[in-house]
């Protein structure tokens, strides 16, 4: 569609020059003004002429009529002026030759704007669970949004580095060490894994409520850890290894791999240099014993760099990490995917990086997302009010498998298909929402197999595979014959893929891809139900419809890969 829009825009720009050459309205300006009408009866594309009126010194109705009088293009079946709009109806025959041919030629690269990221590097910081805590539904957002953004940028030609910035440092480890000495034992921890660590964490927090002195013990143990106490370092590493083993199971189900697992602890020896730089530049101020950077001139509260006791905080570690990553990867963009509740934190330390004179400060991007609640209740690991992702996935997989056994008991690899569809149902449900929206997670909605769901689009993909498996050999060199509105509608939808990818990258918004997948699935299913494919009236029409099916299969598969959704050839 981008190429088609450019062709149309260039022809319109030439006509506009005949109205007023001095206005100098370029084709790119016209292309940006083209829009998709809300009703297909108003055309496939439309140019609202109202913004041109002042430039051309002509009424919008007259501008539209003037364009319509002399406009011609091979890609346009007809065009008309209506109430100040120039409405364009695309040619199905042209789309068939253009879209089907391009999809066949580019295959897995169809829709990929590879020139966007050529020679550029993007570092993405996402998922990043806190060690010794469960991987629950609250982690789903940063994990699947972050990985989707990585896949989108890779698709657009960027070199991507995915970093799992593990929360493997902080006073919670002092609490765990105290709890382990009081109530834990090695055999129970090894057997229970991260669940056993969570039990200790909940227990120590409850105990602190009754005996606040335990909080002082926890701080003392963490200080020993920071000072390199051998026993505490050994326990800490053990907690980290146990947690990572558990997290890897979830990442495997989601098909996610990271390039780096350098957590907060990695930067402990890199923070002093940045603190000293702040001090040397006169940016650090002492406020009630703590070291801060005053951000009041920029409309923000102070950024806390060191506590009264000299210990570091999240901004200190994030600044040190950003400097290390710039030096290591020389990124063109550094993306952080965290909850919207951390927006002020990122705005503060981004500003501090700028004040420190790092010229790449404007390459730092925070991508926030909304909170997840369960039936309106916030999640909290210290109280145990969580839904673990492994349990959620297991329930979804079990439901899928029960449906499979009823509808298709002889399905090969039923366990693998059930896992792909069950996990996909959860991921698709989450990514169907605009990322900034708060989500009240309702199990019944997430696991529904009707309507705009993951199982629906995966079944649509399987349907394309089934049609092609039953078909005679497809001749991609044969002339195509588009004879119905449903065929043309499918072609128009497929042609939009690259635009969708560009829009999703620009907005850091995977749900744009998810909604597009629903559009493709809907267009293909209407085509499938209304147009006989294998039983078409002649060989040319059958071959055309098989080619459309192959194109839909390719586009769905490419789009699935951008949102962590598995391709399912049989369901």
Q: Which of 4-18, 156-170, 431-445, 458-472 has the lowest mean pLDDT?
A: 431-445
**pLDDT score for 447:** 66
CA-closest candidate to residue 321, choices 367, 356, 271, 260: 271
Percentage with pLDDT > 90 across the chain = 63
CA atoms within 13 A on the CB side of 370: 14
Q: Where are the alpha helices (DSSP H) in 159-270?
A: 171-183, 186-192, 194-210, 213-226, 230-254
3 state SS of 262:
coil
- Give the CA dihedral 250, 158, 327, 305, nearest 10 degrees: -60
**pLDDT score for 392:** 85
Percentage with pLDDT > 70 across the chain = 97
Beta strands in 106-157 (DSSP E): 121-125
pLDDT one-digit tens code per residue, 66-120: 999 888 888 888 899 988 889 999 988 889 888 999 999 999 999 999 999 999 9
CA-closest candidate to residue 260, choices 313, 156, 331, 315: 331
SS (H, E, C) 35-65: ECCCCHHHCCEEEECHHHHHHHCCCHHHHHH
- pTM for the full model? 0.90
For 197, the token pair is 């660590």
Tell whether the model's pLDDT for residue 382 goes beyond 50: no
What stretch of H or E contains 364? strand 364-369
**pLDDT score for 383:** 47
CA dist 294 and 193 (Å) reads 43
CA dist 455 and 425 (Å) reads 6
**pLDDT score for 236:** 95
Q: 22 or 291: whose pLDDT is higher?
A: 291
Q: How, if at all, do strands 121-125 and 333-339 pair? A: parallel
Task: Tell me the mean pLDDT in the region 132-155.
Answer: 92
CA dist 464 and 417 (Å) reads 16
Cβ–Cβ < 8 Å for 276, 310: no
- 3-class SS shares of the chain: helix, strand, coil, % to 5: 60, 10, 30
pLDDT one-digit tens code per residue, 177-204: 999 999 988 999 999 999 899 899 989 9
Q: How confident is the model at residue 20 (pLDDT cuts 50, 70, 90)?
A: confident
Task: Tell me the mean pLDDT in the region 216-226.
Answer: 91
CA dist 566 and 571 (Å) reads 12
Task: Tell me the mean pLDDT in the region 438-461.
Answer: 81
What stretch of H or E contains 439? strand 439-441
pLDDT one-digit tens code per residue, 227-282: 889 999 999 999 999 999 999 999 999 999 999 999 999 998 999 999 999 999 99
Per-residue burial over 164-176, b = 16 or more CB atoms within 10 Å of its CB, e = otherwise: bbbbbbbebbbbb
Tell whether the model's pLDDT for residue 135 goes beyond 90: no
Greatest mean pLDDT among 285-299, 366-380, 400-414, 429-443: 285-299
**pLDDT score for 108:** 95
Angle at 117 between CA 111 and CA 120, to 5 degrees: 165
> What mean pLDDT value characterizes the chain?
90
**pLDDT score for 390:** 87
**pLDDT score for 475:** 81
CA-closest candidate to residue 479, choices 152, 47, 97, 71: 97
Q: 156 or 135: whose pLDDT is higher?
A: 156
**pLDDT score for 381:** 47
Q: How confident is the model at residue 379 (pLDDT cuts 50, 70, 90)?
A: low
Which residue, chain included where needed, has tokens 């060191």? 306
pLDDT one-digit tens code per residue, 272-325: 999 999 999 999 999 989 999 999 999 999 999 998 877 778 999 999 999 999
**pLDDT score for 338:** 95
3 state SS of 390:
helix
CA-closest candidate to residue 362, choices 372, 351, 374: 351
Beta strands in 263-376 (DSSP E): 284-287, 290-293, 303-306, 333-339, 364-369, 372-374
Q: How confident is the model at residue 132 (pLDDT cuts 50, 70, 90)?
A: confident
All structural domains of the chain, each given as residue ranges with its CATH number in brackets, are: 2-90 (3.30.1360.70), 391-560 (1.10.730.10)
Q: How, if at all, do strands 377-378 and 372-374 pair? A: antiparallel
Phi, psi of 138 (to 5 degrees): -65, -20
Task: Tell me the mean pLDDT in the region 129-146.
Answer: 89
What stretch of H or E contains 160? strand 159-163
Tell whether the model's pLDDT for residue 150 goes beyond 70: yes
Q: Where are the alpha helices (DSSP H) in 432-484?
A: 443-446, 454-470
Phi, psi of 274 (to 5 degrees): -75, -35
């Amino acid at each position: 569609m981008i190429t088609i829009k450019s062709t149309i825009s260039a022809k319109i720009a030439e006509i506009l020059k005949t109205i007023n050459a001095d206005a100098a309205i370029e084709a790119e300006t016209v292309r940006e003004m083209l829009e998709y009408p809300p009703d297909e009866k108003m055309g496939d594309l439309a140019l609202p002429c109202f913004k041109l009126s002042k430039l051309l010194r002509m009424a919008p109705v007259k501008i539209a009529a003037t364009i319509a009088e002399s406009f011609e293009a091979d890609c346009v079946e007809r065009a008309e002026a209506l109430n100040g709009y120039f409405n364009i109806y695309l040619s199905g025959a042209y789309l068939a030759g253009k879209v089907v041919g391009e999809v066949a030629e580019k295959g897995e690269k169809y829709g990929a704007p590879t020139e966007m990221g050529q020679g550029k590097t993007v570092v993405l910081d996402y998922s990043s669970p806190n060690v010794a805590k469960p991987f629950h539904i609250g982690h789903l957002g940063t994990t699947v949004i972050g990985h989707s953004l990585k896949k989108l940028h890779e698709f657009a030609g960027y070199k991507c580095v995915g970093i799992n910035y593990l929360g493997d440092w902080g006073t919670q480890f002092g609490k765990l060490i105290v709890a382990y000495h009081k109530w834990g034992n090695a055999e129970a921890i090894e057997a229970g894994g991260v669940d056993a660590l969570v039990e200790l964490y909940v227990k120590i927090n409850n105990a602190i409520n009754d005996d606040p002195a335990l909080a002082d013990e926890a701080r003392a143990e963490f200080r020993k850890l920071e000072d390199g106490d051998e026993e505490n370092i050994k326990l800490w590493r053990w907690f980290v290894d146990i947690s990572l083993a558990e997290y890897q199971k979830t990442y495997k189900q989601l098909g996610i791999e990271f390039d780096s697992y350098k957590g907060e602890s990695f930067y402990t020896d890199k923070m002093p240099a940045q603190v000293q730089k702040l001090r040397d530049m006169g940016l650090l101020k002492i406020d009630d014993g703590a070291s801060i950077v005053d951000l009041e001139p920029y409309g923000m509260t102070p950024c806390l760099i060191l506590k009264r006791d000299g210990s570091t905080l999240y901004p200190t570690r994030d600044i040190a990490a950003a400097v290390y990553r710039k030096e290591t990867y020389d990124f063109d963009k550094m993306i952080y995917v965290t909850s919207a509740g951390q927006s002020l934190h990122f705005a503060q330390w981004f500003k501090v990086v700028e004040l420190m004179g790092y010229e790449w400060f404007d390459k730092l991007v925070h991508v926030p997302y909304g909170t997840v609640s369960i039936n309106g209740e916030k999640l909290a690991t210290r109280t145990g009010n969580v839904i673990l992702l492994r349990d959620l996935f297991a329930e979804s997989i079990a439901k899928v498998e029960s449906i499979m056994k009823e509808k298709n008991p002889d399905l090969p690899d039923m366990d693998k298909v059930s896992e792909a569809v069950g996990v996909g149902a959860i991921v698709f449900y989450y990514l169907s929402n605009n990322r900034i929206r708060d989500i009240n997670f309702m199990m019944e909605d997430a696991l529904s197999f009707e309507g705009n769901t993951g199982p629906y689009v995966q079944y649509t993909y399987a349907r394309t595979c089934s049609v092609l498996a039953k078909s005679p050999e497809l001749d991609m060199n044969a002339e195509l014959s588009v004879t119905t509105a449903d065929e043309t509608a499918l072609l128009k939808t497929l042609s939009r893929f690259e635009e969708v990818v560009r829009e999703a990258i620009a907005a850091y918004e995977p749900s744009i891809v998810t909604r597009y997948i629903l559009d493709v699935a809907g267009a293909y299913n209407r085509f499938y139900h209304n147009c006989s494919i294998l039983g078409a009236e002649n060989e040319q029409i059958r071959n055309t419809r098989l080619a459309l099916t192959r194109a839909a299969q390719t586009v769905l598969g490419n789009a699935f890969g951008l949102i962590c959704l598995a391709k399912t050839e049989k369901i």
